[in-house]
């Protein structure tokens, strides 16, 4: 039997109170979706956007569901005239302070702000507020572009940088209409503690933080096909989405699957997110090369290359013994591939000379 004192009521439904839980999470638990813009389960709430305001009986003002803890006997209303009027008002306010045309706003990634506005409606199209937010025009880092006219000061990017990446390279600066995203002394990101993880791009709900190479390529994410893959830069196994321009057979950028869906929880490192230009680089080897009689490297089929390898290994073993051979594997290979390399070294060639970079 649950203790009636430890219950709250959300839209007429009784919910048990869990220590420290917010109204947003308690509502989600019973299938009620409260719209949010500045919330991310990985971050402490900032209650910056005010989209999630709900009515709490006895409170004079509406309360942010993302930042208000539940308590016994609380009575919450997440729908109805006042709540829905506030959502439309807030969305109009934010839209007036950013790029109003969805297609322009989504020239890089999706805009959660526009998605919410379409879902919940607005209180009307309000005249654009001229943004006074300062940019950082001298920031010539190659990956992260900050476009202040699109920023709604939700602080998702700075909280992510602080609480997930733990480097605090960017911060909210100034006050009022001048509130902007900045760095210490407005330095370029590459002159700060920034690790170029690109997480600030990923969490931004308006496209104010965008990916430079993808902007130069010029095709919005909505026109690209996502192909799920596993990052091969290290052995962690982060899941990535390759964003592919099918018509040009080109990987335009790499994004993380949403938080909470894969092992990397929406995060990527600089290599996983940005080090993908090798895919289409003209120097990339796309076929095996075999050394010819004259010492030059010549293209060959995989069958020819593997036959030459087997022949060479067998020759060294017969002329110098098995311990003249050594096998080196890589932490970029899967566990299974590493297992097979040591199996081949020991079982097929009879040597324990096998090593892998992660072992050092």
Cβ proximity to ligand SF4: between 99 and 196 the closer is 196
Task: Name the minimum Å distance from CB 87 to ligand FES.
Answer: 11
| CA pair distance 352, 356, nearest whole angstrom | 12
What are the C-alpha distances in Å from 52 to residues 11, 91, 191?
15, 11, 36
- Give min distance, CB of 235 to ligand SF4, in A: 22
**Could you give the CA distance from residue 253 to residue 198 in angstroms, rounded to a whole number?**
12
Q: Which does 66 bind (CB under 5 to 8 A by kind): ligand SF4, ligand FES, none?
A: ligand FES
Site for ligand SF4, rule CB under 6 A: 144, 151-157, 160-161, 165, 167, 169-170, 181, 189, 194-200, 203-206, 208-209
CA distance 176 to 129: 13
Instruction: Round to whole Å and give the CA distance between 47 and 13.
Output: 25
- Alpha-carbon gap, residue 90 to 51, rounded angstroms: 6
Tell me how long the chain is. Answer: 360
The pair of three-digit structure tokens given for residue 163, joined into one six-digit string:
């609480």
Write down the least CB distance from residue 157 to ligand SF4, Å: 3
Q: Could you tell me the smallest distance in angstroms from the CB atom of residue 25 to ligand SF4?
A: 21
Q: Is residue 226 helix, strand or coil?
A: strand
Nearer to ligand SF4, 8 or 203 (CB): 203
Please, which residue, 39 or 253, has the CB nearer to ligand FES?
39
> Which entry of ligand FES, ligand SF4, none binds 39, CB below 5 to 8 A by partner kind?
ligand FES
**Partner in contact with 47, chosen from ligand SF4, ligand FES, none, beta carbon below 5 to 8 Å by kind:** ligand FES
Three-state DSSP class for 342? helix
Q: Cα(327)–Cα(200) distance, rounded to whole angstroms?
A: 41
One DSSP character per residue, 267-296 reads ---HHHHH--GGGG-TT---S-EEE-TTS-
Q: How far is the CB of 229 from ligand FES (least distance, A)?
A: 32
Q: Which is nearer to ligand FES, 38 or 145 (CB)?
A: 38
**Residue 154 or 189 with smaller CB distance to ligand FES:** 154
Cβ proximity to ligand FES: between 68 and 262 the closer is 68
Which residues contact ligand FES by CB under 6 A?
36-39, 47-52, 64, 66
Q: How far is the CB of 116 from ligand SF4 (least distance, A)?
A: 13
């Amino acid at each position: 039997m649950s203790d009636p004192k430890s219950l709250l009521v959300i839209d007429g439904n009784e919910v048990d109170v869990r220590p420290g839980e917010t109204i947003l999470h308690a509502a989600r638990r019973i299938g009620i979706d409260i719209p949010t813009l500045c919330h991310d389960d990985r971050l402490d709430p900032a209650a910056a956007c005010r989209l999630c305001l709900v009515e709490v009986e006895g409170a004079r003002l509406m309360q942010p569901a993302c930042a208000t803890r539940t308590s016994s006997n609380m009575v919450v209303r997440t729908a109805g005239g006042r709540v829905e009027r506030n959502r439309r008002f807030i969305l109009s306010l934010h839209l007036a302070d950013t790029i109003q045309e969805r297609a322009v706003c989504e020239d890089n990634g999706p805009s959660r702000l526009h998605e919410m506005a379409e879902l919940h409606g607005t209180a009307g199209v309000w005249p654009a507020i001229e943004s006074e937010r300062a940019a950082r025009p001298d920031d010539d880092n190659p990956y992260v572009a900050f476009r202040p006219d699109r920023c709604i000061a939700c602080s998702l990017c700075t909280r992510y940088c602080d609480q997930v990446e733990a480097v605090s390279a960017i911060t909210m600066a100034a006050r009022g209409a001048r509130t902007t995203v900045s760095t210490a002394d407005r330095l370029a990101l590459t002159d700060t503690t920034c690790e170029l993880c690109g997480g600030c791009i990923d969490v931004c709900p308006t496209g104010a933080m965008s990916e430079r190479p993808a902007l130069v390529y010029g095709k919005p994410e909505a026109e690209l096909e996502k192909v799920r893959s596993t990052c091969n830069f290290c052995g962690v196994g982060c899941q990535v989405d390759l964003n592919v321009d099918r018509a040009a057979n080109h990987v335009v950028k790499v994004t993380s699957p949403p938080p909470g869906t894969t092992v990397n929880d929406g995060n990527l490192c600089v290599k996983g997110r940005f080090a993908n230009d090798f895919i289409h680089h003209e120097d990339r080897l796309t076929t095996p090369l075999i050394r010819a009689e004259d010492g030059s490297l010549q293209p060959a089929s995989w069958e020819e290359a593997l036959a030459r390898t087997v022949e060479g290994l067998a020759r060294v073993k017969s002329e110098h013994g098995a311990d003249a051979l050594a096998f080196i594997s890589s932490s970029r290979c899967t566990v299974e591939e590493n297992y097979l390399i040591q199996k081949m070294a020991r079982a097929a060639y009879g040597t324990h000379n096998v090593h892998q970079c992660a072992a050092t």
